[in-house]
Amino acid sequence: MPDMTYRDALNLALKEELRHDPSVVIWGEDVALYEGSFKVTRGLLAEFGEERVKDTPISENTIVGVAVGAAMGGLRPIAELMTVNFALLAMDQIVNHMAKVSSMFGGQTHLPMVIRAPGGGGSQLAAQHSQSLESYFMHCPGLYVAVPATPADAKGLLKSSIRDNNPVMFLEHELLYNSKGEVSDDPEFLVPLGKAQVKREGTDVTIVAYSRMTILALQAAAELEKEGISCEVVDLRTLSPLDTETFVASVKKTGRAVVVEECWHTAGLGGHIASLIYEGCFDLLQSPVQRVSGLDVPMPYSRKIEKLCIPQPESIVAAVRETMSGKY
C-alpha cells in the first residue's frame, strides 16, 4: 500500500466516489477554482467539471440548506465548510433539517449527504477558528459523526460516509492534513461507520481517544512503555454511531481507563464515554476513570498559551500514571 498524506487520502476518496457514482456532487467556498482552503479538492474541477464541483457564495446556511434539498432530490452532495466553526451559522439547517428530515417524513426519504469540516486547535488561529465542536453534533439524534485519525481511516470513512443513506458530519483535524500513513489504493476500500479500532494492544490501561488525540495517545503509550506500563489505545473513529462494545471490552481487560478529548471539559463527550465505562465495567475497575480534555476557555492566540489549553502527550502520560496509582 502506498504512503500518502491525510489530505491526499481524502482527495483520493473524493475522486473515487465521484467516478463511482454520478449522483455525487461537491460544493462549498473555494472548492473548485482554488481547490479548497486545505487543497483537499485539488484537481476535482479539472476532472469532473463545474456541474459536479461548484464554488458557492459565502453563506454556510445556504450551502447546507441546498445540500439538504439536493439529497432529498436524489443527489449525494458533499458540502465543504471552510472550518467547523462556520457550521454554527448553519445550525438551523443541520439540527432542524439535515438531522430530522428522514424521521419527519416517516422514513419515506433518505438524506445521503456529507458535511466536511476542518477544525481543532493548535494552528494559532485564536478563539473563533480553533474550536472542537464534535459534542454539539454527537448530541443531535439523526446525525452520524465521523472523526478519522489516520490517512487510511480518512479515506475509508469518507467513502463509507458518501455511500451511506444517513447524513454525516465528517470532521477533519487541521493538524492532521500533512500526517502520513499507508493507504489502500483499492477503490472499494471502506472503513465501516460505527466501528472503533484498537490501534495498540495493551494490558494495564485503556486510552480511549479519537481524531488527533488518538495520535497523541499513541505517542504517550510509547513513552509509558519505557516505564513498563502497557497501554491499549482505542480509536473511536466515529462518535455516532458510537462503538461502546469495543472500548468497554478493552476496559474490562485492563481494568483502568483514560478518556482523551480535545473539546471542552464541561459537557464534553468524555464525560459520556466515562459514564458508559462505569456502567459497563464498574465491578472490574481498579481505579477511577481519568479524563484529559481541552480547557474551558476561549482559545488564546499565543502559541505557548494555546498549547496549555489543548491535551498534549505529557498530559495523557500524567493521567495514565494517576490511574495506575489510584485505587478504589
Q: What is the pLDDT of residue 328?
A: 61
Choose which CATH entry (3.40.50.2000, 1.10.3720.10, 2.40.50.100, 3.40.50.970) describes domain 3-182: 3.40.50.970
Give the residue ranges of DSSP H helices in 3-59.
6-20, 44-48
Averaged pLDDT score across all residues of the chain: 97
| 232-290 pLDDT per residue, tens | 999 999 999 999 999 999 999 999 999 999 999 999 999 999 999 999 999 999 999 99
CA distance 83 to 132: 10
State the number of CA atoms in the 13 A half-sphere of 283 facing the CB: 0
Residue 283 is placed in which grid cell? 465491578
Assigned CATH for 197-325 = 3.40.50.920
pLDDT band at 1 (very low <50, low <70, confident <90, very high): confident
Per-residue pLDDT for 118 more than 70? Answer: yes
CA distance 188 to 307: 39
Q: Where are the domains of the chain?
A: 3-182, 197-325
pLDDT band at 326 (very low <50, low <70, confident <90, very high): confident
Under 8 Å CB-to-CB from 270, ≥6 apart: which residues? 259, 260, 261, 263, 291, 292, 293
What are the C-alpha distances in Å from 20 to residues 68, 151, 188, 287?
A: 21, 20, 10, 50
| 247-256 pLDDT per residue, tens | 999 999 999 9
| 126-181 pLDDT per residue, tens | 999 999 999 999 999 999 999 999 999 999 999 999 999 999 999 999 999 999 99
Same fold, 3-182 and 197-325: yes
| 74-91 pLDDT per residue, tens | 999 999 999 999 999 999
- Measured between alpha carbons, how far apart are the two ends of the chain, in Å? 46
Please report where in the chains the cell 438531522 appears, as a residue: 99
Catalytically active residues are: 60, 129
CA distance 262 to 280: 24
What are the C-alpha distances in Å from 256 to residues 31, 32, 298, 328?
A: 44, 48, 31, 11
